[in-house]
Structure 1
Amino acid sequence: MAKSMLIISRQGPWSGPSAREALDIALAGGAFDLELAVLFLDDGVFQLAGAQQPAALEQKDLTANLQALPLFGVDQLFACQSSLALRGIDATRLTLPIDVLEDAALRALINLYDHVVTL
């Protein structure tokens, strides 16, 4: 019986290694045909904002990793509506096609998965 995993990414793209690690876990799991989804929550929604300039912070751009997710079978991508709203991010201008969920739907989403990893 196949197991499923939800990865909750709560850190901004430049606040430490957690954002990159969440994407690495998703890409690795996708390579092994694990049923995966990624939820961007809290500052994690900043990963989805366009026009980032990582070179100014001497960081690597996460955009290529994000865009590779569907290629690795990770096509269930979600973002928290209230996290986007609190940070002034317009859901129609995200860099990837994302399902935006209200708080009540987040609880239901989390309950669908066998394993939940939060970074």
Structure 2
Amino acid sequence: MSVDSILILVRSAPYGSSAARDALDAALTCSVFEAPVTLLFMDDAVYQLLKGQSPAGIGQKNLNAIQQSLPLYDIDRLCVAQSAMAQRGLSEDQLALPVESVDAAQIAELMAEHTHVLSF
């Protein structure tokens, strides 16, 4: 990418801390400044993308609603680490959003092609 671009590494489970929500807030904030943003879901963050979440019982808001709005902010590139999906026995058809599945080499390429990398 030729202009400043931002890769946000999302590593945290959807609930239990504010990290998942903080990553989405950072992505939305960066997009307001017209910086291209890519989200890469790694580790337990892949659970954020699962369909049918009902966190009201634990007093949390459903992150899927915010994630569904990402295209409105021109955040169209959502990537997921293949290894994280495999380790957790998940498949892309279980996810609420379309994602680009990436392997370790592609993750390295993503990091190299973006000007800034943020990790949550």
Using structure 1 for the length normalisation, give the TM-score.
Answer: 0.95
**Runs of 4+ that moved beyond 3 A:** none
Partner of 1:99: 100
Equivalent position amino acid for 1:23 in 2: L
Q: Letter of the 1:50 partner, please give it.
A: K
Matched, 1:37 2:38: yes
Superposed CA deviations along residues 80-116 of structure 1, whole A, max 9, x for unmatched, are 0110111121112211110001111111111110100
State the match for 1:16 in structure 2. Answer: 17
Shift of 1:14: 0.3
Segments of 5+ residues of structure 2 without an aligned counterpart are none
Name the structure 1 match of 2:50: 49
Paired residues, number: 119
- Indicate conservation of the 8 Å contact 1:31/1:73, yes or no: no
Tell me the TM-score normalized by structure 2.
0.94
| Distance in 2 separating the partners of 1:32 and 1:73 | 11
Please name the residue that 1:3 is paired with.
4
The two structures, once aligned, show a CA RMSD in angstroms of 1.1
Distance in structure 1 (CA, Å) of the matches to 2:108 and 2:16: 26
- Secondary structure of 2:9's match? strand
Amino acid of the structure 1 residue aligned with 2:106: A
For residues 6 and 105 of structure 1, what CA distance do their matches in structure 2 show? 13
